[in-house]
């Protein structure tokens, strides 16, 4: 899958891909990541990419033309059908379902804004979708772009090495993930739950499902309204309540 990020600070993006899962994904050519600086698509000697907002008010607004030219340059270089996403607090909040949807695409162009945002005409003319990573404000769109790339990459077969890892993650089944334990068996007088040492895979799977239901009920009960449950799961939830 191809990711292109339009950003005034490409170094912030490139540093992230020097580590961990995403680094291996790039090296194994499962994903590709490139950055495009709007300053390279300006016409004046100062490479001006922003200006004061019409109507007054604080801050600066990113100009239409440099952003548009950057997107056109990206599309010209790619034969794949692309989706242009503007990272914005006004967008749809990204959830696991949206991540799955994006992972099925061939090409994402992510617009990382700064200052007060971008000229609305760029959004109207060039952007396919606005996405948010939460109901809070950040200094720029680089971190949200990295969040989207990281979460989407994990859904691509081969990126995690063991594809079952993504299936067990929180939200993958509409629930929070069950607790994990590792060696030693006892630490500071706290023991690993005996069921995990039993070797009974069916019983372990059932315990993990119950733990997921319990955690979700305690911390994110809103998620329980979004899925259907088996008889056994329904009974367990009733017992919790």
Does residue 56 fall inside a structural domain?
yes
What is the distance between the alpha carbons of residues 196 and 211, in angstroms, rounded to a whole number? 12
The predicted pLDDT at position 86 comes to: 98
Answer yes or no: do 130 and 223 share one domain. Answer: no
Q: Is 142 a catalytic residue?
A: no
By residue count, the chain amounts to 241
- In tens, the pLDDT along 187-213 reads 999 999 999 999 999 999 999 999 999
Among candidate residues 38, 114, 142, 154, the one labeled active-site is 154
Whole-prediction pTM: 0.86
Q: What domain count does the chain have?
A: 2
Among candidate residues 34, 69, 169, 177, the one labeled active-site is 169
- In tens, the pLDDT along 11-20 reads 999 999 999 9
Final residue before a domain boundary, out of 121, 153, 185: 153
> Which pLDDT band, with edges at 50, 70 and 90, does 162 fall under?
low
The predicted pLDDT at position 241 comes to: 80
Among candidate residues 2, 34, 83, 116, the one labeled active-site is 116
- In tens, the pLDDT along 70-129 reads 999 999 999 899 999 999 999 999 999 999 999 999 999 999 999 899 999 999 999 999
1 touches 152 (CB < 8 A): yes
**What average pLDDT does the segment 121-147 reach?**
97
Number of C-beta neighbours around residue 216 at 10 A: 22
Q: Is 116 a catalytic residue?
A: yes
Does residue 209 fall inside a structural domain?
yes
Structural domain boundaries, residue 38:
2-153
Answer yes or no: do 180 and 133 share one domain. Answer: no
Answer yes or no: do 117 and 205 share one domain. Answer: no
The predicted pLDDT at position 226 comes to: 83
Among candidate residues 2, 34, 83, 89, the one labeled active-site is 89
Answer yes or no: do 139 and 58 share one domain. Answer: yes
């Amino acid at each position: 899958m191809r990711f292109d990020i339009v950003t005034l600070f490409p170094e912030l993006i490139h540093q992230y891909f020097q580590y961990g899962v995403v680094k291996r994904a790039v090296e194994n050519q499962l994903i590709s990541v490139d950055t495009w600086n709007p300053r390279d698509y300006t016409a004046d000697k100062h490479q001006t990419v922003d200006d004061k907002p019409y109507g007054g008010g604080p801050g600066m607004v990113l100009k239409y033309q440099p952003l548009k030219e950057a997107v056109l340059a990206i599309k010209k270089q790619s034969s794949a059908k692309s989706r242009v996403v503007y990272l914005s607090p006004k967008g749809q909040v990204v959830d696991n379902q949206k991540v799955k949807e994006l992972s099925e695409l061939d090409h994402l162009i992510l617009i990382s804004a700064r200052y007060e945002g971008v000229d609305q005409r760029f959004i109207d003319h060039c952007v396919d979708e606005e996405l948010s990573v939460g109901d809070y404000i950040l200094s720029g769109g680089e971190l949200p772009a990295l969040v989207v790339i990281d979460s989407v990459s994990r859904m691509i077969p081969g990126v995690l090495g063991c594809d079952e890892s993504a299936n067990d993650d929180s939200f993958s089944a509409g629930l929070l993930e069950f607790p994990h334990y590792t060696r030693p068996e006892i630490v500071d007088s706290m023991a690993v739950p005996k069921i995990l040492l039993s070797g009974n895979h069916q019983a372990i799977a059932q315990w993990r499902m119950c733990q997921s239901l319990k955690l979700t009920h305690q911390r994110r009960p809103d998620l329980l309204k979004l899925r259907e449950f088996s008889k056994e799961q329904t009974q367990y939830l009733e017992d919790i309540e």
